[in-house]
Structure 1
Amino acid sequence: MASQGVVLARARTDAADRLIEADEPLAGLHRRCGGELPGTVAVPALLELVRKSRRLGLRLARTIEALDGEDTVRAWVEIEPESEGEAGGCSIAVGAWSTSPRPAPSEDEASALRIAIDRAVAELTARLAPDQGVLAFDTSASDLAGLARAMRENPGKPWTEFVELPELAHRPPLHWRLLDGTRCVIPGSKRGWTVTLVPLGRPDPGSAGFELLLVADAPLPAAILASEEPSRATPSFGRELTPVLRQPIARIIANAETIRSRLAGPLAEEYSSYAADIAAAGQHLLSLIDDLSDLEIVEADDFRTAPDRIDLADVARRAVGILGVRARERGTTLVAPDDGISVPATGEFRRVLQVLLNLIGNAIAYSPGGTTVHIEVAREGDRARAVVRDEGPGIPADKLSSVFDKFERLGRGGDGGSGLGLYISRKLARAMHGDLTVESTPGEGARFTLDLPAAD
């Protein structure tokens, strides 16, 4: 270990990657990481290096990091197989050992983590206008049915009119910073709720509206879930299983995020990555549950929409606002209809928003970074149309006829999607006496058109 100075500790492993001999300070770190002597190497970064050296039969040397209580340990290690092939173990030499306090997360990091956890466990999410009026919302909790009904019947009203805020003596309107983190009482629910308000827009937070998250202090009691009457003789995924599955999965996601961020205590980077994978898998599962629930709804014989007069241009602008962060993360530019444009149409606001969110979300996902997605609206005769046009690779000619089929993922097998979004979107469009169509030339992007009855 001439390149890294004096050897501080030596150790040996066997063919099963068990540490059978070790000097201090490596032996102590191994035990504090949960290992035994003899026992499998407990320092994740060291174990990975030992396995690679043994399997490849190569001498490896590099710096590793490990968490040791509230500290971070960095050490230079050199690992050499003791025999050719995988039959033998390895010898380990350790030098350049240093310990430093683990930095506390910044205020911004802690805030982002809190929002991520609240977003995962929230039982009502809503998009609010800059004046905190409700634009769209989603909930499946049975004790929030009254709140959902009030919001649906009073679109655009501030969300604070539908709940009680016992901790705040001031009368609305209230600044969003006063509302963020406060407790609220929801008529019809016996559970306590905490409010999270996420401001959207820069440089003035809230200039593009807010994301509202309502988090319960406890899951809905199992007795209440079990006592709810089934809507039909056979099990209904959307109406019966969705709320039952959503709560435990959301808790799994929240716990995984807590572990990933090390809020529960020190954790090796490898295990933090595992927790991140668990959280991502949970989010994917929730999206599949939502898609299957929507699928059941739109395929029901009694499914109807509630058409009303809407401004298609305004809905398109709102959809762009909601997906703006996702687009920026991918380096995609979204071009929304100008503020002065208005295209009156007949349709159900939240269903039209759902369709446009799906179309724009797909365009962002399929388009390479640095490209632009255009959202255009226009009236043509008695029809109002919204067009989502991307600059992606386009859709092969042999796939155009099946784009709106169930479980069709446009040839992408590993993107994590369910392949139901476009199928559901066309069902919704046709339920509103409209249609959803696509045009595409390979290499020149895709053009999806939502067609609705125009309103005078």
Structure 2
Amino acid sequence: MSASNVFARGVTDGEDRLIEADEPLAGLQTRCGGDLPGTVAIPQLLEAVRKSRTLGLKIARTIIAFDGEAMVRAWVDIAPPQQSHGGCTIEVGAWTATPPTAETDDAAAARRIEIDRDVAELTARLDGSQRLLTVDAHAADLDQVAHAMRAGQGKLWSEFVTFPDLAHRQPLHWRLLDGARCEIPGSGRRWTVTLVPLGRPEPGSAGFELLFVADTPLSEQAPLLEEPLAIPPAFAQEVTPVLRQPIARIIANAETIRARLAGPLADEYSDYAADIASAGQHLLSLIDDLADLEAVESADFSTQPDLIDLADVARRATGILAVRARAKDIQLLAPGESEAAPATGEFRRVLQILLNLVGNAIAYSPAGSRVTLSVDKAEEVSRVTVADEGPGMSAEQGGRVFNQFERLGRSGDGGSGLGLYISRKLARAMGGDLVVESAPGEGARFILTLPG
């Protein structure tokens, strides 16, 4: 950014606190709830500063913030730490401030309906007289009412629930039922009804969409699995596409809330939104793992072997995960450009295995350590080894690390415990194997072997 285009400059320290700032950046910092000096209070600017500081990269991007009165849009150039205080320098340009557009009643209603669609646990399609056409439910405590509704197709949906706050006889006009509280047989939870009228110009002329939204989520406590989870047939083909879209929408909406793009928000709620987005990403990863599990467990599963270079695949895997490693201050060491280890395997599946192994190594390794990928070639096989400097494993842990849903005590990190199980299945399907060598306190070495 040229000097003539710079509106303001700022400086942060090693803890991402804004310690110096010109106007209007200083004013925006305080209007967003921060202090000067104090932690950067502009969410998108804080995120960019953290990335620049931790990755050592220069970052240039547009940021958007709401200062309580106007939507501020500005271009920022952020230079990584070069000063003794370990922080970044900020240059701000192209500053504009515009009053926020007031949300119309129609837009607010549409947003509420979209939210209810995302969280509804029972949905139904009704005709113009509010009689049942189709029903879909996905909560255990709704099985009873869903079964009754399907058997009672053509009846009024309101016959299958009770309304403790309504003394009127049914049927009622849909506007009186929209937003009503109800109780559902078989469920101990309280529910709110959303009725979405379809058709124009008369709302409801083409029927209704019925949504039941619970006041509280169903208990997240799941029984321990005594046997490996049996994945229903055609999971990937049928369930995965259905789940991906709503989960992706939840993630996108949570990120919008987290970044305060829709307006000012208390820090704790922004943190909640970040947790929702993170959980959504973990759920998408779990869906991918379950889809892969279905594939490798299929009787007709096979790979498409080709001539590949294990050293090249290893270099690609480290390149893909380099940012994640640097964020944890972990050094990835890949085979040199001159190294080669010809093997027979399916490139996509080998890369999948190495991404899982390197990702696990990063997750288990302490900051400041190294993850090393090395290759070697024997007479009939080629090997790639992923070695970390983490806590290592006992012989008992090494014996069960490849089991389904085994996570070696890692709880709450969103992992499915399927990655290593699937990776070994893939390795063996390609005529190779995946083994581990480890001891407590000595890190772990995962060795992928493929035909040479």
* TM-score normalised by length of structure 1: 0.50
> Residue in 2 aligned with 1:368?
366
Shift of 1:411: 2.4
Per-residue CA deviation, residues 365-391 of structure 1 (Å, 9 max, x unaligned), is 000000001100010110000000000
Counterpart-to-counterpart distance in 2, 1:421 and 1:391: 20
> Residue in 2 aligned with 1:423?
421
Counterpart-to-counterpart distance in 1, 2:77 and 2:247: 26
Correspondences of 1:21-420 after superposition (within 5 Å):
71-72=31-32, 104=73, 106-107=75-76, 236-420=234-418
3-state SS of paired residue (1:250): helix
Shift of 1:349: 0.2
Q: Per the alignment, do residues 105 and 414 of structure 1 end up closer, same or farther by CA in structure 2, a change over 3 Å counting?
A: farther
Per-residue CA deviation, residues 64-113 of structure 1 (Å, 9 max, x unaligned), is xxxx9x944579xxxxxxxxxxxxxxxxxxxxxx999886565579xxxx
- Amino acid of the residue matched to residue 271 of structure 2? S
Which contiguous aligned blocks of 4+ residues in structure 1 show a shift greater than 3 angstroms?
A: 70-75, 98-109
Counterpart-to-counterpart distance in 2, 1:242 and 1:261: 28
Q: Per the alignment, do residues 291 and 73 of structure 1 end up closer, same or farther by CA in structure 2, a change over 3 Å counting?
A: closer
- Amino acid of the residue matched to residue 378 of structure 2? E
Contact 1:71–1:102 under 8 Å retained in 2: no
- Amino acid of the residue matched to residue 444 of structure 2? A
Identity score, percent: 66
Contact 1:74–1:99 under 8 Å retained in 2: no
> Residue in 1 aligned with 2:440?
442
3-state SS of paired residue (1:415): coil
- Amino acid of the residue matched to residue 341 of structure 1? E
Contact 1:260–1:272 under 8 Å retained in 2: yes
Counterpart-to-counterpart distance in 2, 1:262 and 1:446: 42
> Residue in 2 aligned with 1:117?
none
Contact 1:72–1:101 under 8 Å retained in 2: no
Counterpart-to-counterpart distance in 2, 1:308 and 1:332: 32
Shift of 1:255: 1.0
Q: Per the alignment, do residues 399 and 74 of structure 1 end up closer, same or farther by CA in structure 2, a change over 3 Å counting?
A: closer
Shift of 1:413: 2.5
Counterpart-to-counterpart distance in 1, 2:303 and 2:34: 61
Counterpart-to-counterpart distance in 2, 1:293 and 1:396: 30
> Residue in 1 aligned with 2:133?
none
Counterpart-to-counterpart distance in 2, 1:384 and 1:100: 63
Contact 1:310–1:345 under 8 Å retained in 2: yes
RMSD, matched Cα: 2.4
Shift of 1:414: 2.8
3-state SS of paired residue (1:252): helix
- Amino acid of the residue matched to residue 282 of structure 2? H
3-state SS of paired residue (1:381): coil
Counterpart-to-counterpart distance in 1, 2:324 and 2:380: 34
Counterpart-to-counterpart distance in 2, 1:73 and 1:417: 35
Q: Per the alignment, do residues 74 and 235 of structure 1 end up closer, same or farther by CA in structure 2, a change over 3 Å counting?
A: same
Per-residue CA deviation, residues 35-90 of structure 1 (Å, 9 max, x unaligned), is xxxxxxxxxxxxxxxxxxxxxxxxxxxxxxxxx9x944579xxxxxxxxxxxxxxx
Aligned length: 240
Per-residue CA deviation, residues 277-308 of structure 1 (Å, 9 max, x unaligned), is 11011001101101111000000001000000
Counterpart-to-counterpart distance in 2, 1:280 and 1:394: 27
Per-residue CA deviation, residues 387-438 of structure 1 (Å, 9 max, x unaligned), is 0000000012221110100000122223321100000000000000000000
> Residue in 2 aligned with 1:169?
none
Contact 1:71–1:101 under 8 Å retained in 2: no
- Amino acid of the residue matched to residue 348 of structure 2? R
- Amino acid of the residue matched to residue 265 of structure 2? L
Q: Per the alignment, do residues 429 and 108 of structure 1 end up closer, same or farther by CA in structure 2, a change over 3 Å counting?
A: farther
Counterpart-to-counterpart distance in 2, 1:376 and 1:330: 21
Q: Structure 2, unaligned stretches of length 5 or more?
A: 1-27, 36-66, 79-231
Counterpart-to-counterpart distance in 1, 2:329 and 2:388: 13
Counterpart-to-counterpart distance in 2, 1:300 and 1:263: 45
3-state SS of paired residue (1:245): helix
Contact 1:71–1:100 under 8 Å retained in 2: no
Counterpart-to-counterpart distance in 1, 2:233 and 2:299: 16
Q: Structure 1, unaligned stretches of length 5 or more?
A: 1-67, 76-97, 110-233
3-state SS of paired residue (2:339): coil
Counterpart-to-counterpart distance in 2, 1:323 and 1:378: 22
Q: Per the alignment, do residues 108 and 277 of structure 1 end up closer, same or farther by CA in structure 2, a change over 3 Å counting?
A: farther
1:432 aligns with 2:434: no
Counterpart-to-counterpart distance in 2, 1:99 and 1:349: 52
Shift of 1:262: 1.2
3-state SS of paired residue (1:331): coil
Shift of 1:269: 1.7
Per-residue CA deviation, residues 5-60 of structure 1 (Å, 9 max, x unaligned), is xxxxxxxxxxxxxxxxxxxxxxxxxxxxxxxxxxxxxxxxxxxxxxxxxxxxxxxx
